[in-house]
Amino acid sequence: MGDRFIGRVAVVTGGASGIGEAAVRELHAEGASVVIADIQVAPGQLLAAELGNKAIFLEADVSAESDVAAAVDAAVSRFGQLDIMFNNAGVMGTLGPIDSTCIDDADRTIAINLRSVISGMKHAARVMKPRRCGVIISTSSPAGMLGGVGPHVYSATKAAVIGISNSVAAELRPFNIRVNTVVPGAVVSPMTASLVAGGPDHLDQALETMNDTALMSRPLLPADVAAAVLYLASDAAAFVTGVTLPVDAGMTGAIGQSPFATGKYDQSVTVFEAGRRT
């Protein structure tokens, strides 16, 4: 592996599985110290133990600003600084027509998908601005750029993630803090499995479905998205800020055969409680 992140410190929300886990592993492999912030305690603790003393796990409900602030503070207290903030945690929220939307579920989706990103940006900026350097990356979705490819409230939150990222990028540019958004297509992960295969434990079935509908020769994997995240976090992207980077085989360029666009998801599925990650 490379050494692009030796001496760097990262916080990854939703870091215990899916895209977050892949990013944690790749950042660590290239030298970074990592705070894994996730509501999933068992997998988060196992991952931190596997990676050793340059990784710590912090149980975090990202809908609570105090938990996000604690993750940032843990990076500073344990490793001395924060260089990379990856706001990745999220939920799909409730599927269904707009006239049956449960506002309580909508509020929860907004809290996890959007308010957590605002909290992450706020507290990352708090510790990055005095050092006049840093990178903030947030996970959006094609559903935030296109209609009809995701649940309504989820789509709204992911569009808002792009909007606030662009706005904060303009504010923080004089401080040499870069702010960008990554837009993964349908990734083989427990959260996607809850849509296309009926539950988070059906990854094999999800993989088969997504193979049938892939825009390229294979489905998108968490490692593919992590590679884009690491690029945005690296010095190679030193002049890249205020950018929305799709990693979706062209889905946002022209709607293709995704599991969402083809309706191959279970409309009865509600919020996937265990999967506060994207």
Kindly list the catalytic residues: 154
- Strand 55-59: give its sheet, edge to edge: 55-59, 33-38, 9-13, 84-87, 134-139, 177-184, 244-247
CA distance 192 to 199: 9
CA distance 95 to 266: 8
Angle between helical axes of 65-79 and 116-128 (0-180°, round to 10): 30
Question: Closest Cα partner for 178 from 169, 187, 189?
Answer: 169
Strand partners, 181: 138, 244
Amino acid (1-letter code) at residue 26: E
